[in-house]
Structure 1
Amino acid sequence: MSRELTPQEAAERSLIKKYRKELWNPFIAAVKRYELIAPGDRIAVCISGGKDSMVLAKLMQELQRHTEQPFELVFLVMDPGYAPANRALIEENAARLGIPITVFRSDIFDVAYQVEKNPCYLCARMRRGFLYSKAQELGCNKIALGHHLSDVLETTLLGLFYGAQLQTMPPKLRSRNFPGMELIRPLYCVHEDAIIAWKNYNGLRFLQCACRFTEERDGAADGVGESKRQEMKLLLRELKKTNPNIEKSMFRAIHGVQLDTFPGFKFRGRAFAFPEAYNLRGASSAEDEAAL
């Protein structure tokens, strides 16, 4: 008679068995496609306490366990001012899932609450800086965040609809303020629905953002409140009803941007207006003209 699996063992097995196609395979695909991890890396996996960062931590543990190219992991939790019950939930989930977390404190929530315009943007930037600093202090050369495919697409729509720009969230980037540090997003090819399914299958309850602004959104009758990102999430959900492949199409589109068709673009912070961009392109081929 086989023994009953512990919650940790069940969660780990479901990652590479039941949800192999939805979680493990796209996670590995992102790591390889975007060259996110190299032998000898020391990576700080940043855990907010939510479902995304927790599943990232477990996937990174599994990869470390099975890879032939060794790398080190630190599981970093920043407490930006959580209520005691919320911090306790993070610690309980980490223990339940076998994630050895390192916790440090900051006053980000207190600062963000004082700002009326774009408090979430300020909070995100401050979090990033604190995480880079602590990770570097612990000898890490990379931080890993739990942004997934759905975040990527929502960010693309936000930029188009509200930022007047065509841009998206890259799978990795170098830090400007912390030389030698990189940010990686190993869940880049993982859909949020798969993370939710894994969470529910294992009967797990994770922390939400746990700040006043999120509580206002959750209490709004339309489910959006002041969150434009939530608005994009709901928009994509509606569009999928008539076009089930819309997210796949968008994801492919950001990998195949046709700069030759744009009247202007930016590269490395420099803007190229139409006349300069036009001259750089030179003469178009008959095939190009036919396509346009």
Structure 2
Amino acid sequence: MNAMTEQPQEKPQLTEAEQKQKYNFNKLVKRLRHNVGDAINDFNMIEDGDRVMVCLSGGKDSYTMLDILLSLQKSAPINFSIVAVNLDQKQPGFPEHILPTYLAEIGVEHRIIEEDTYSIVTRVIEEGKTTCGLCSRLRRGILYRVADELGATKIALGHHRDDILETLFLNMFYGGKLKGMPPKLVSDDGKHMVIRPLAYCREKDIEKYSAAREFPIIPCNLCGSQPNLQRQVIGDMLRDWDKRFPGRLETMFTAMCNVVPSHLADPKRYDFVNAKADGTPRADGDKAFDRETFSDPSRISILSSKPAASACGDAS
């Protein structure tokens, strides 16, 4: 053997700060994978043989969703395929090369759809008015059409837990409805299944993950539209609560998974008209004389608060 043969070089030791950073990132990855996996299982989002169309906007949420789904795909007990789709709506300044380049580099099947909805929206909507409503309707119709063309059985959107809570409060404060954003739903035309795999994921976790993975983020303000001020107000309120009252958002999301129609006030959801005191004990009866007990919000587990057959998932 040649005495001059180079010996394998030892890997440099990580500093204490680097070890801590690596440890925290691994915990973050595990938590996100766990939350996405729980959401998929609890709502039967993805089934064997599914073709999942992942809608990629270029923001932190959709990048994270695609990344986690690709990771889970390798270890899932079922087989499903993924196709990433981006809709280039021709906003001025949109960096159209970023997503195709990124998707080609990671080897993901993808399709870029070019539809000039920007011109339509700016022509129809009065200057100074928010364009988000019309823009989203046009975008949704295009995505449904593309799902048909690609043979997709599921359409995956990147909404997370905070988006779902924001929508709940938006509907309560401004719409007069107790309505959120479901993790899984059938489209208006009844032909498509929409899923939200990040339903149990916290936005702050997604932000950390996206930063660590260094995704090529595309800014979301290219259209020049005014922000949705109502959603901004709600978002600020939730972030303030999360900062001042740790665990409150977890508790609120748990509440969305533990609905008791008999203790609300919607006669279309519960038959108040024909309710009778017939002497039969009932699980949904009024415990008017029972003392209410409340847990520490930071210790509440959604899974432990619901029957196994209808568990909503652990969002902590």
TM-score grouping bracket, smaller chain normalisation: 0.7 to 0.9
In the TM superposition, residue 168 of structure 1 has moved relative to its aligned partner by 0.4
Pairing of 1:197-276 with structure 2 (within 5 A): 197-214=208-225, 216-217=226-227, 226-264=228-266, 266=268
TM-superposed CA distance for 1:265, in Å, is 5.4
How many matched pairs?
266
Q: C-alpha displacement at 1:101, in angstroms?
A: 2.3
Could you tell me how far apart the structure 2 residues matched to 1:14 and 1:213 are? 40
One-letter code aligned to 2:189: N
Task: Please show how residues 127-206 of structure 1 align to structure 2 within 5 Å.
Answer: 127-177=139-189, 179=191, 181-206=192-217
Q: Deviations over 1:47-104 (max 9, x none)?
A: 1111111111111111221122101111111111134552223334434544442101
C-alpha contact 1:15 1:198 (8 A) present in aligned 2: no
Structure having the larger proportion of residues in helix: 1
Using the alignment, how far apart are the partners of 2:193 and 2:10 within structure 1?
A: 44
CA positional deviation for 1:178: 5.3
Deviation at 1:189, TM superposition (A): 0.4
Which position in structure 1 is the counterpart of 2:286? Answer: 288
Who is 1:88 aligned against? 97
For residues 140 and 49 of structure 1, the distance between their equivalents in structure 2, rounded to whole angstroms, comes to: 20
How high is the TM-score relative to the length of structure 2? 0.75
User: Aligned equivalents of 1:228 and 1:97: distance in 2?
Assistant: 37
TM-score normalized by structure 1?
A: 0.81
Residue identity in the other structure for 2:286: D
Q: Give the match for residue 222 of structure 1.
A: none
CA shift at 1:195, angstroms? 1.0
Alignment-mate amino acid for residue 251 of structure 2: S
Structure number with bigger Rg: 2
Per the alignment, residue 272 of structure 2 pairs with: 278
What residue ranges of structure 1 are gaps of 5+ in the alignment? 5-12, 218-225
Per-residue deviation at 1:199? 1.5
In the other structure, the counterpart of 1:8 is none
Work out the CA distance in 1 between the residues paired with 2:265 and 2:112: 48
Q: Aligned pair in 2 of structure 1 residues 140, 247: CA closer, same or farther (>3 Å)?
A: same
Distance across 1 between alignment mates of 2:150 and 2:10: 41
Distance 2:24 2:244 in 1: 31
1:97/1:38 Cα in 2 relative to 1: closer, same or farther (>3 Å)?
A: same
Q: Does 1:56 align with 2:65?
A: yes
Q: Classify 1:104/1:264 alpha carbon distance in 2 versus 1 (closer, same or farther; 3 Å).
A: same
In structure 2, distance between residues paired with 1:16 and 1:42: 30
1:3 and 1:178 mapped to 2: Cα distance? 56
The residue identity in structure 1 corresponding to 2:272 is Y
Deviation of residue 266 (structure 1)?
4.9
Pair 1:245–1:15, CA change in 2 (3 A) = closer
Amino acid at match of 2:236: L
Q: 1:135 to 1:258 in 2, by over 3 A?
A: same
Deviations 1:201-230 (A, max 9, x none): 23334113234345x44xxxxxxxx42212
After TM superposition, give the deviation of residue 127 of structure 1 in Å.
Answer: 1.1
1:129 & 1:291 partners in 2: Cα distance? 52
Among 138, 149, 152, the alignment partner of 1:126 is 138
Q: Do the aligned partners of 1:14 and 1:198 also contact (CA within 8 Å) in 2?
A: no
**Pair 1:71–1:79, CA change in 2 (3 A):** same
Alpha-carbon shift at residue 29 of structure 1 (Å): 0.8
CA distance in 1, matches of 2:183, 2:64: 17
Aligned residue for 1:234, secondary structure, equals helix
Q: How many angstroms apart in 1 are the aligned matches of 2:75 and 2:24?
A: 13
Q: Are residues 153 and 2 of structure 1, via their aligned partners in 2, closer, same or farther at CA, if it must alter by over 3 Å?
A: farther
Deviates more, 1:126-135 or 1:280-289: 280-289
Q: Which amino acid aligns with 2:78?
A: Q
* Counterpart-to-counterpart distance in 2, 1:60 and 1:33: 16
